[in-house]
Amino acid sequence: MASFPAILRSEWTKIRTVRSTVWTLLLVFVVTAALGALLSLLTKNNFGDFRRDVNTPFDATATSFSGIVLGEIAMIVFGVLAVGNEYSSGMIRASLAAVPQRGTLLTGKMVVVGVLALLISLLTAFITFFLGQWLLGDHHTTIGAPHVLRAVFGAAIYLTLLCLFAAGVTAMLHNQTLALGVLVPFFFLLSPILSAVPKVKNVAHYFPDFAGRQMLTVFPTPEAPYGWVAGFAICGGWTLAALVGGAAVLKARDA
């Protein structure tokens, strides 16, 4: 049986030697920061039009994170590829031969994936925040303002949880194409559509994306029935369920 540190080194090698996973992590930073910067600049230049007839407080922090929607896509793809590449290449058989304890193997993989996602997410969140505030000019806020630092860390945690959720779903499905075919429509079609339908929009409030985004807002979202703590719990619950499901399927099914 391989030692756990050896499993971690092996999983790190698998990820860093595959170009698609490395480039996807880079995209998380690029698209989140770039789109957030663009929308922050547009908000500054058209602030009067954007805030006309708006009674809620201006959330400068959330404005700088406007590009996180594209960052979500890249982070979900990273989570899928980090797990799914082994199944598409057939390497999972060699991995299981080296580490027959499937739960230990999956734990090591998720630790490496989660740590990488968290590091990139923290870097992305802080740079995106400071860049966005600089471009907002007189409408900016500071990292020391009430709840702002919590929101910046919340953005990083949200992206990390999405990554682990995607990784868990991929472990359940054993197929990266199928996982992307489920996750992308769920987050970017089903959730927005349900959120716009009055009779069922409350259901979408408990999806991981809506719940997770409550962590990166300074002022509560008017339509949200809960705050950032409950949002973290709901998003974390979805992630935990996906990881437990992935472990159960890995133990029950052949590679």
pLDDT, tens digit, for every residue of 150-208?
Answer: 999 999 999 999 999 999 999 999 888 899 999 988 888 888 787 777 777 788 889 99
* Domain coverage including residue 101: 4-252
DSSP letters spanning the chain: ---HHHHHHHHHHHHHT-HHHHHHHHHHHHHHHHHHHHHHHHHHHTHHHHTTT--SPP-HHHHHTTTHHHHHHHHHHHHHHHHHHHHHHTHHHHHHHH---HHHHHHHHHHHHHHHHHHHHHHHHHHHHHHHHHHHGGG---TTSTTHHHHHHHHHHHHHHHHHHHHHHHHHHT-HHHHHHHHHHIIIIIHHHHHT-TTTHHHHTTSHHHHHHGGG-SSPPTT-SS-HHHHHHHHHHHHHHHHHHHHHHHHHS--
Which pLDDT does position 53 carry in this prediction? 63
Type of residue found at 55: N
Q: Give residue 232's pLDDT band: very low, low, confident or very high (50, 70, 90).
A: very high
Q: Per-residue pLDDT tens for 84-131? A: 888 877 777 777 777 778 888 888 999 999 999 999 999 999 999 999
Number of domains in the chain: 1
Q: Whole-structure pTM over 0.75, yes or no?
A: yes
d(CA 34, CA 13): 29
Angle at 136 between CA 134 and CA 141, to 5 degrees: 75
pLDDT at 133 over 80: yes
132: how many CB neighbours lie within 10 A of its CB? 28
Which pLDDT does position 148 carry in this prediction? 94
Which pLDDT does position 188 carry in this prediction? 83
